[in-house]
Amino acid sequence: MASSLDGSSPAASNVRGAEYPRIHPDLRVTFRLLAPNAQQVQVQPGGNDNGLGTGPFDMVRGEDGSWTVTTPPAVPGFHYYSLLVDGVAVNDPASDTYFGYDKQTSGVEVPEPGVDFYDAQDVPHGEVRAHWYRSQTTDQWRRAYVYTPPDYDTHPETRYPVLYLQHGGGEDETSWAKQGRANFVLDNLIASGKALPMIVVMDCGYATPVAVLPPPAPRPRPLRAETGGQGQRQELPGEAMWERLRQISDAFEVLMINEIVPMVDATYRTIPDREHRGIAGLSMGSFEALRIGLGHLDLFASIAALSGGPFGGFDLQTACNGVFRDPAAFNKKVRLFWLGAGTAEVWIHTLIVGMHEALQGAGVRHVFYESAGTAHEWQTWRRHLHDLAPRLFRG
C-alpha cells in the first residue's frame, strides 16, 4: 500500500483502490466521505467502545464537499463502524462490509505492530468451503462455512478432529473467516506445528425463524466513561436478553446435535468421537458452546467460552446444570475447558474472572486467557483462537 507524506496508508479493509480510511503510524485513523449536500457527517464506532473510541466523531466539511475526521489512536484490531449522514447510519462506500449488527456493516482493520498471526503468510493455506445442507429443523437450505486444513485434499486417507466455532450476536457463518481471519490463524499455527491440522465448522447460530423470537433487547448502553482507559461500565443484560439468548440457543442446540454434527461426520473426513470434537463460541456463541458442549459431553470433550459465560451469571453449584459440582468427574470427562475475555470488556471480564476464580477454588481444571487492552470485539477473539487452537485435541 502506498504511504503518503504523513506516513499514513490506506487500511487493508478498504475496497480496491480506496485511499480512505487511512491508518497513521500512531494508529490514528482518518475517515473521509464526499457528501457535498449533507448537513452533518459523523463516524460512529460500533458498540460502546470497540477500540476506535466512543464517538460519534464529527467530520469537518472541506471546500470540495468532502468530510474528514481523524480519530485518536485506536486499539489495534478490526472495528465495526458506521457513517452518520444527516443522522442516518450508513456504510462507508470506501470500506468492505461485514455481517454484524444483523446487517452488512463497515469495518476498518487497524494493524497491530509486529503481530502477524492472523495475516496471510507464505505458508500452505487451507480452504474455506461454503457447504449447503437441507435442514429439517429450520425447513431451509442452510450454509455452513467449513475450513479444511492445507493437506486435506492431498492426504485423502487422513482423518481430522473438528472444532465447531460460533460467531456472536448479529453475526453469521461468514464472520469467523471474514472478521476473525480464523483460516489464516489456523494456517499459521498448523504450518509452525503449534496446532494440529483440524477441520473448523462455522455455522450460523440462529436456527429459529426470526419471527418467533421476542424483539432484541436494547444493547447495553454506557453508564459513565471511565477515566484513563478504553473500558466503559455497561449495564448487565436484563432478563429479556437472557431469555432471548436461551431461545436462540435452544433452537441451535437441536440443529447442532440432530443435523450439523451428523452432516459434518458424513461429509468430511472427521475422527467422529468426542475426544476429537470441540465446540467454541464468542459472546452469544459462548452461551451456545457451553450449553451444547457441557450438555452433550458424550459428543464433545473440549469446550471454550470466548467473552461469555453461562446463562444468568455463574454459580458453581447450579451453572450449566450442575456440571461443575463434582470437579473430579468433570476433570476426568472434559479434556479442555477454556475461558477467555478481553480486559477492556468490563462486565464480561468481571464475570469471567469470577468464574475462573470459582472454578480454580473448586479444583475444576480449565484455562483462563486474558486479552490485554481489547474490548468486546474481534481482536480479542483472534487472540483467543490463537491461544485455544494449539491446546485442542492433544494428549
The window from 132-140, 224-232, 316-324, 369-377 that contacts a copy of itself (CB under 8 A) reads: 132-140
Q: Does 290 bind a copy of itself (CB under 8 A)?
A: no
Q: By CB under 8 A, name the one of 62, 73, 93, 363 that touches a copy of itself.
A: 93
Q: Does 39 bind a copy of itself (CB under 8 A)?
A: yes
First to last CA, the chain: 44
Residue whose C-alpha is closest to residue 362's, from 329, 394, 384: 329
As a whole number of angstroms, the distance between CA 122 and CA 103 comes to 33
261: phi then psi, degrees, rounded to nearest 5: -60, -50
The window from 205-213, 217-225, 284-292, 364-372 that contacts a copy of itself (CB under 8 A) reads: 205-213
Q: Does 191 bind a copy of itself (CB under 8 A)?
A: no
As a whole number of angstroms, the distance between CA 174 and CA 98 comes to 8
Q: For residue 375, give the C-alpha cell.
A: 474490548
Strand partners, 89: 84
Task: Tell the residue number behind the cell numbers 482423518, with chain if given.
Answer: 159
CA distances to 50, 71, 227 from 230, rounded to whole Å, are 8, 14, 8
As a whole number of angstroms, the distance between CA 360 and CA 362 comes to 5
Of 212 and 328, the one with the shorter C-beta distance to a copy of itself is 212
* Other C-beta atoms lying within 10 Å of the C-beta of residue 131: 17
Of 184 and 314, the one with the shorter C-beta distance to a copy of itself is 184
CB of 145 to a copy of itself, least distance (A): 9
Q: Does 72 bind a copy of itself (CB under 8 A)?
A: no
The window from 20-28, 90-98, 195-203, 336-344 that contacts a copy of itself (CB under 8 A) reads: 90-98
CB of 133 to a copy of itself, least distance (A): 8
Give the interface size with a copy of itself as a residue count (CB under 8 A): 51
Q: By CB under 8 A, name the one of 104, 136, 158, 192 that touches a copy of itself.
A: 104
CB of 44 to a copy of itself, least distance (A): 13
What is the residue-wise DSSP string for 304-334?
EEES--STTS--TTTHHHHTTS-HHHHHHH-
Strands (E), 47-102: 57-58, 60-61, 66-70, 77-85, 88-90, 97-100
Q: By CB under 8 A, name the one of 210, 212, 328, 372 that touches a copy of itself.
A: 210
As a whole number of angstroms, the distance between CA 261 and CA 188 comes to 26
Q: By CB under 8 A, name the one of 11, 29, 74, 128 that touches a copy of itself.
A: 128
Interface contacts to a copy of itself, rule CB under 8 A: 2, 15-18, 33-39, 83, 85-91, 93-97, 99, 102-104, 120, 122, 125, 127-134, 141, 153, 156, 172, 177, 183, 206, 210-211, 267-268
